[in-house]
Amino acid sequence: AREDIETLLLRALRDQERGLGGRGLELASDALHFIAEHAQGDARVAYNVLESAAELAALRGLQRIDVALAEEAAQHRALLYDKAGEEHYNVISAFIKSMRGSDPDAAVYWMMRMLEAGEDPLFIARRMVIFAAEDIGNADPRALMVAVAAKDAVHFVGLPEGCIPLAQAATYLATAPKSNAAYRAMLAAKEDVRRLGPLPVPLHLRNAPTPLMRELGYGRGYEYAHDLPGHFTDQPHLPAELQGRTYYIPSDQGEEKAIAERLAQWRERRRKRSDDA
């Protein structure tokens, strides 16, 4: 409600520790009403307009924020970053590409551009969760945990302190080793699913909860990996039409280098078994 936003604004204006209380500013009642209406129930927008108005007042040597100054501050914010306009997409694109390009300085800058303009911090956190899986993947599996933890921290703490875990996550993701191998594997598998349809599950992989299913061969010949040396079985697991198909090709970055070496040995053993069959 507008009244709730107005209460939050007045509290921010008087807060000596976290707000604008140390500046001795006066907020005209019509300016207060304007900012609350402009925010449309979004406290972040209201705070940002108030802060922008306070900055304009300081630049001009003013101690009173009137409605004209509040309107100017709101317009200034909108010009900087319009959530429905082109600049919104330009800035989020710059943020993602800065992390992908391993540039933590640029990543933090673009992130703060969004936050200072009133962007929802959870929107930024969600983009980082996606980025961690798509652009870092198994090169550093901790990246996804860091991104999810930042999302939870922002939700728990709120703004302005929520910017701190977001900055930690953005710099971690930007400086982590990069790999899109898992993402590419997903795309390749999806293409085969759509192209070939629902291929039948091999009998040895099927669940066999009833005697009839067992008589039909469901589950017969299945090899339980934990009963075998190295906890590995070279038994095939793909549908017959896709035997030998490779989706996941690990990079040589970060932890994927060890994964690639391990996987190469396993795939070679499966290939030999298939050739001998």
For residue 26, what are the β-bridge partners? 64
DSSP state of 18: T
Q: Does domain 86-175 correspond to CATH entry 1.20.272.10? A: yes
Q: How far apart are CA 230 and CA 244, in angstroms?
A: 22
Q: Where in the chain is the domain with CATH 1.20.272.10?
A: 86-175
CATH level 2 (architecture), domain 2-80? Orthogonal Bundle (1.10)
In the chain, which residues fall in CATH 1.10.3710.10?
A: 182-276
**pTM score of the predicted model:** 0.72
Residue 80: pLDDT band by 50, 70, 90 thresholds?
low
Return the closest-CA partner of residue 180 out of 148, 126, 145, 143.
Answer: 143
**Tokens encoding 271:** 């290939």
Task: Reply yes or no: is the peptide bond before residue 160 cis, omega within 30 of 0.
Answer: yes
Alpha-helical (H) ranges within the chain are 2-14, 29-39, 43-59, 67-80, 86-100, 104-116, 121-131, 142-157, 163-175, 181-196, 211-215, 256-276
**pLDDT tens digits, one per residue of 165-203:** 999 999 999 999 999 999 999 999 999 999 999 999 999
As a whole-number percent, the residues of the chain with pLDDT over 70 amount to 96
Which residues lie closer than 8 Å to 82 by C-beta, 6 or more apart? Answer: 88
**Looking at 24-33, 77-86, 190-199, which range is the least confident one?**
77-86
**Domain 182-276 falls in which CATH fold?**
post-AAA+ oligomerization domain-like (1.10.3710)
pLDDT band at 82; cut points 50, 70, 90: low
115 with 83: CB under 8 angstroms?
A: no
Tell me what the mean pLDDT of segment 27-36 comes to.
93
Q: Which residue has the higher pLDDT, 86 or 134?
A: 134
Residue 116: burial class (beta carbons within 10 Å; 0-12, 13-18, 19+):
middle
Choose the weakest-confidence range: 115-119, 147-151, 182-186, 195-199: 115-119
The C-alpha atoms of residue 84 and residue 86 are separated, in whole angstroms, by 7
Is the CB of residue 76 less than 8 Å from the CB of residue 44? Answer: no
Average pLDDT, the chain: 91
Tokens of 55: 């900055």
Q: What is the pLDDT of residues 262-276, one digit of tens each?
A: 999 999 999 999 888
